[in-house]
Amino acid sequence: MSAASPTALPRWVDVVALPAVNLLAAFLLSGLVVVAIGEDPFQAMGLLVTGAFGNAESIGYTLYYATNFIFTGLAVAIAFHAGLFNIGGEGQAYIGGLGVGLVCLWLGDLPAVLVVPLAILTGAAFGAAWAAVPAYLQAYRGSHIVITTIMFNFIAASVMTYLMVNVLIRPSQQSPESREFATAATLPRLHEIADAVGLEITASPLNLAFLWALICAALFHVFLWRTRWGYEIRAVGANETAAIYAGISPARIIILAMAISGALAGFVALNELMGVHHRIILNFTGGYGFVGIAVALIGRNRPLGICLAALLFGALYQGGSELSFDMPNVTRELVVVIQGLVILFCGALENLFRGRIAAYFQRPATAGAVS
Amino acid sequence: MIRASLTAIAMAAFAVAAPAAAATIEFSPAVVFDMGGKFDKSFNEAAYAGAERFKKESGVAYREFEVTQEAQRDQGLRNMARRGANMIIAIGFAQATPLEKVAKEYKHARFTIIDAVVDLPNVQSVVFKEHEGSFLVGMAAAMASKTNKVGFIGGMDIPLIRKFALGYVEGAKFVNPAVEVLQNMTGTTPAAWNDPTKGGELARSQFDRGADVIYAAAGGTGVGVLQAAKDGKKFAIGVDSNQNYLHPGTMLTSMVKRVDVAVYEAFKSAQANKWKGGISNLGLKEDGVGYSLDDHNKSLITADMQKRLDQARTDIIAGKLKVTDYTAKK
């Protein structure tokens, strides 16, 4: 990807200027779309931004969405580093949620210091197990991981629908959702924590899972660039033949990388179930697993980049919903168009302006070399 | 007629209620649609139609929001309440849990929820006896079928849809105990509510297995089912909204669920300060559900069929004929 760029740009250009230009182009085009439906583009973009960052509550929502995207973005990225395309984040998050939910429902009476780590471990284990099956099939049977992980999303959805409708549903109600978790089995929200120390913050779904997401991002970095396993994963991803020559077993690494990937995806359930809904509900994954692919791509598969990309997507989700709220003409489909344009420019067309900007930066350099 | 009688019931119910305390506050209505989106040609669109009718008649604009993420249900309702909306209608059972939270926080606001029950003083719950309406269209299907096989296509396998299915099966078997009912659900993710392609495929496969009437209770997915029936020159039964006009000639009837009337009445009564919390369970008796008969399908429903359907309707209302409510079973 960007590492193979022939023109070495100053780092700030690569990290700040280029994404900013791409983002600007995306917003420009979105503005034209807004004009086309007869609304004021400046007002729309203003609403998008204030909707995402305007006050404590909207920032809370933005960060809450970002939490999900950090988890799924990291999940996709670790598989990428091993040369694998994990499209199964959605299903892994769903099954991870089953693990988290079962712990919270059955052991909710235990003190929080026990339940929360147990839920984290179980969620990770369930997610990892769900990812390990396609990984095994890829490693030892050669079944392509893209196909199998997609299929596993549907299996996960079917399993969860069956369990929610027939087994875990709270009796005598329409909606397929479980009973509520005990308080010990929920993650405190930011405004509740602030309340406890005497600060007042507007209520939002932002909860402790956000902190765990940041910790995961840090651990991700340490694991991938500071441990032997991380090195082996990157080696297999970069060149499998060379990795075998170096004595690394690709099959083992595929399963390892996918298991970690599934575990990270499973953490979405911490944010959604333990942090927000406090019960198991259908479809709490809401497409976060798929958006994680875009987050990982835009974040260049680096933890810091993923956190920033997750923030961008969180802002688009939250700002987008505020936008359609205040401008009824801007339907939710149009919000998806705007989000799509941002993905297009930041992800797929990232080289659109690179050449021109590079040329601008190289001119003085070449001139200097001649003289 | 439906309109008139429902109005009468609503009036009767609301007449007992003392005018709400907040009489001087400006009336500000809002609707929060569910994930299917307001143009699903079915459930949400019925709500949209009701809201639009109110807007047209009263000249009062309403705020609206379409939910796209689970967390947005809570957010949408809360946003409405915070921005001063005081008559908020939540469409769909999935909004029950978030509504319960928000309604407790905004005690001055009035909420109406469709398809679920939330037991709070400032919430009006409107549920429908879908099984009764489905029973009638099940009868119609069995009477119209020449192959003695009829089909059912649901959206997701959730209790609400099983309620439709069970009523339909009982209705079909009531006419002809030997009739075979083929059943399929479209999927296990919310995409199942909006997948006309798959709806069409399922319909074709049921037609291939011998069914010649299919009842679609699958939101936007149903559009594909109805289309497949038209292409295969078989019969289809629409749901929630009256969908007969979509394909005259192959639309046997529609199981109408008067979400539009419920929404309209909620707005109207709230505007007149006659809105009242509580549960209303609308069935055949209240004209909350029923089968549709209009210019588009009157040639398909013979006089004999209509007679039997009306008889069954009367018997159900009188309690002589019992239809099992799937959701009440447990």
Contacts of A154 in chain B (CB under 8 A): 188-189
- The answer to whether residue A321 scores a pLDDT higher than 80 is yes
B70–A284 CB contact, under 8 Å = yes
Evaluate whether residue B14 is within a structural domain.
yes
Residues whose CB falls within 8 Å of the CB of residue A65, separated by 6 or more in sequence, listed in order: A313, A314, A317, A318, B71
pLDDT value of position B21: 43
CB B6 within 8 A of CB B288: yes
pLDDT digits (tens, 9 = 90+) for B66-120: 888 887 888 889 889 988 889 999 999 889 889 998 999 898 899 999 998 999 9
Same domain? B156 vs B46? no
Q: Does B93 touch chain A (CB under 8 A)?
A: yes
Q: Does B74 touch chain A (CB under 8 A)?
A: yes
Evaluate whether residue A237 is within a structural domain.
yes
Evaluate whether residue A102 is within a structural domain.
yes
Residues whose CB falls within 8 Å of the CB of residue B104, separated by 6 or more in sequence, listed in order: B120
- How far is the C-alpha of A278 from the C-alpha of A281, rounded, in Å? 9
CB A349 within 8 A of CB A22: yes
Of the candidates A165, A205, A328, which has its C-beta nearest B71's C-beta? A205
CB A64 within 8 A of CB A314: yes
Range of the domain at B66: 2-128+258-282
B160–A321 CB contact, under 8 Å = no
CB B112 within 8 A of CB B54: no
What does the DSSP assignment read for A283-322? TTTTTHHHHHHHHHHHTTT-HHHHHHHHHHHHHHHHHHHH
Where helices occur in B17-158 by DSSP H, the ranges are 43-58, 70-82, 96-105, 130-144
Of the candidates A175, A284, A321, which has its C-beta nearest B72's C-beta? A321
Chains A, B: CB contacts within 8 A come to 79
CA atoms within 13 A on the CB side of A249: 6
Q: Residue A173: which pLDDT band, with cuts at 50, 70 and 90?
A: confident
Mean pLDDT of the B308-325 span: 93
Indicate the range of A144-148, A182-186, A269-273 predicted with least confidence.
Answer: A182-186
Of the candidates A165, A286, A322, which has its C-beta nearest B69's C-beta? A286
Contacts of B156 in chain A (CB under 8 A): 161, 282
Q: Read off the CATH number of the domain in which A134 is found.
A: 1.10.3470
How many CB atoms lie under 10 A from the CB of residue A103?
25
pLDDT digits (tens, 9 = 90+) for A253-278: 999 999 999 999 999 999 999 999 99
How many CB atoms lie under 10 A from the CB of residue B61?
11
How many CB atoms lie under 10 A from the CB of residue A246?
12
Mean pLDDT of the B6-22 span: 45
Percent of chain A with pLDDT over 90: 55
| Whole-structure pTM value | 0.84
Structure tokens at A342: 């941002």
- How far is the C-alpha of A1 from the C-alpha of B29, rounded, in Å? 51
Range of the domain at A88: 58-305
Evaluate whether residue A371 is within a structural domain.
no
Cα radius of gyration (chain A): 22
State the residue for tokens 């690569």: A14
Task: Tell me the average pLDDT of chain B.
Answer: 88
Same domain? B230 vs B262? no
Evaluate whether residue B235 is within a structural domain.
yes
Evaluate whether residue A33 is within a structural domain.
no
Same domain? B119 vs B140? no
Percent of chain B with pLDDT over 90: 68
pLDDT value of position A226: 95
pLDDT digits (tens, 9 = 90+) for B128-162: 999 999 999 999 999 999 999 999 999 988 888 99
| CA-wise closest residue to A210 among A318, A310, A64 | A64
Domain count, chain A: 1
Among chain A residues, CA nearest to B102: A203
Same domain? B269 vs B154? no
Whole-complex ipTM: 0.74
Cα radius of gyration (chain B): 20
CB A210 within 8 A of CB A63: yes
CB B98 within 8 A of CB B73: yes
Evaluate whether residue B292 is within a structural domain.
no
Mean pLDDT of the A83-87 span: 94
Residue B328, judged by CB atoms within 10 A of its CB (0-12, 13-18, 19+), counts as: exposed
Evaluate whether residue B252 is within a structural domain.
no
Distance of residue A369 Cα from the nearest chain B Cα, in angstroms: 56
- How far is the C-alpha of A286 from the C-alpha of A268, rounded, in Å? 10
How many CB atoms lie under 10 A from the CB of residue A184?
16
Evaluate whether residue B144 is within a structural domain.
yes
pLDDT digits (tens, 9 = 90+) for B219-234: 889 999 999 999 999 9
- How far is the C-alpha of A54 from the C-alpha of A59, rounded, in Å? 7
Structure tokens at A365: 């350099």
Indicate the range of A185-199, A336-350, B199-213 predicted with least confidence.
Answer: A336-350
Same domain? B123 vs B33? yes
Among chain A residues, CA nearest to B328: A172
How many CB atoms lie under 10 A from the CB of residue B234?
22
Contacts of B30 in chain A (CB under 8 A): none
Evaluate whether residue B247 is within a structural domain.
no
pLDDT value of position B317: 94
How many CB atoms lie under 10 A from the CB of residue B301?
18
Q: Read off the CATH number of the domain in which B121 is found.
A: 3.40.50.2300
Q: Residue A365: which pLDDT band, with cuts at 50, 70 and 90?
A: low
Domain count, chain B: 2
Q: Which residue has the higher pLDDT, B51 or B17?
A: B51
Interface test with A, best of B188, B325, B329, B330 (most A CBs within 10 A): B188
Same domain? B182 vs B307? yes
For β-strands B289-291 and B63-66, DSSP reports them as unpaired
B65–A325 CB contact, under 8 Å = yes
Residues whose CB falls within 8 Å of the CB of residue A307, separated by 6 or more in sequence, listed in order: A66, A70, A214, A217, A299
Q: Does A230 touch chain B (CB under 8 A)?
A: no
Same domain? B186 vs B323? yes
pLDDT value of position B220: 87
Mean pLDDT of the B278-295 span: 92
Interface test with B, best of A174, A179, A207, A271 (most B CBs within 10 A): A174
Residues whose CB falls within 8 Å of the CB of residue A162, separated by 6 or more in sequence, listed in order: B157
pLDDT value of position A255: 96
Same domain? B27 vs B91? yes
- The answer to whether residue A150 scores a pLDDT higher than 90 is yes
Q: Does A55 touch chain B (CB under 8 A)?
A: no
Evaluate whether residue A137 is within a structural domain.
yes
- How far is the C-alpha of A39 from the C-alpha of A23, rounded, in Å? 21
For β-strands B213-217 and B235-240, DSSP reports them as parallel
Mean pLDDT of the A329-349 span: 81
Evaluate whether residue B290 is within a structural domain.
no
Q: Which DSSP helix (H) or strand (E) runs through A125?
A: helix A112-136
- The answer to whether residue A212 scores a pLDDT higher than 70 is yes
